């Protein structure tokens, strides 16, 4: 049996979707930028949900602008890792994409807290897990930053 292009498209477009998010690991002088959203109990990297029809890297860059006012050059933002987190504590499973950029002193000085962000902090990679509320996702990323060995894909 062969499907027409329209039949294939309809089938594909009706498959169940997964939640996904994207964030940027902003690094300056071996310190990592973390933000405290006003609706979250712990700190995170700048980032958020990927909008429908939006690429993960674009979402990460958009969220960084929205949260800390940084306009990032997509050419300088590199893929770091992708993690799949299974359903936990009533939260559906989710794909998390992380990108990384190294910034200079002038760019670091231009960071501002936008609406919804209580504050930001530059942290050492070994502080990430604790500041993120011991979430395995952030503990793993912190470990990757400490060892300087990112894993391209990981399931938690």
Residue 34's domain comprises 18-155
Number of domains comprising the chain: 1
Q: What's the Cα-to-Cα distance from 80 to each of 37, 48, 56, 91, 129, rounded to whole Å?
A: 22, 16, 12, 24, 17
The answer to whether position 103 is within a domain reads yes
Residue 110, token pair as written in the block: 């231009």
pLDDT in tens, 80-132: 999 998 887 787 889 999 999 999 999 999 999 988 999 999 999 999 999 99
- For the entire predicted model, the pTM comes to 0.89
**How many whole angstroms separate alpha carbon 141 and alpha carbon 153?**
11
pLDDT in tens, 13-69: 777 778 899 999 999 999 999 999 998 999 999 999 999 899 999 999 999 999 999
The answer to whether position 3 is within a domain reads no
Give the CATH number, domain containing residue 79: 3.90.79.10
Predicted local distance difference test score (pLDDT) of residue 156: 73
């Amino acid at each position: 049996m062969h499907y027409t292009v329209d039949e294939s498209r309809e089938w594909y477009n009706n498959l169940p979707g997964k939640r996904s998010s994207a964030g940027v690991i902003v690094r300056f002088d071996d310190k990592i930028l973390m933000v405290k959203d006003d609706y979250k109990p712990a700190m995170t990297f700048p980032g958020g949900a990927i909008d429908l029809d939006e690429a993960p890297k674009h979402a990460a860059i958009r969220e960084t602008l929205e949260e800390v006012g940084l306009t990032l050059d997509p050419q300088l933002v590199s893929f770091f890792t992708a993690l799949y987190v299974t359903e936990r504590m009533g939260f559906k499973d989710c794909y998390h994409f992380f990108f990384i950029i190294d910034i200079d002193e002038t760019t670091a000085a231009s960071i501002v807290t936008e609406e919804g962000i209580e504050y930001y902090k530059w942290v050492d990679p070994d502080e990430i897990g604790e500041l993120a509320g011991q979430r395995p996702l952030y503990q793993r990323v912190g470990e990757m930053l400490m060892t300087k060995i990112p894993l391209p894909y990981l399931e938690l």
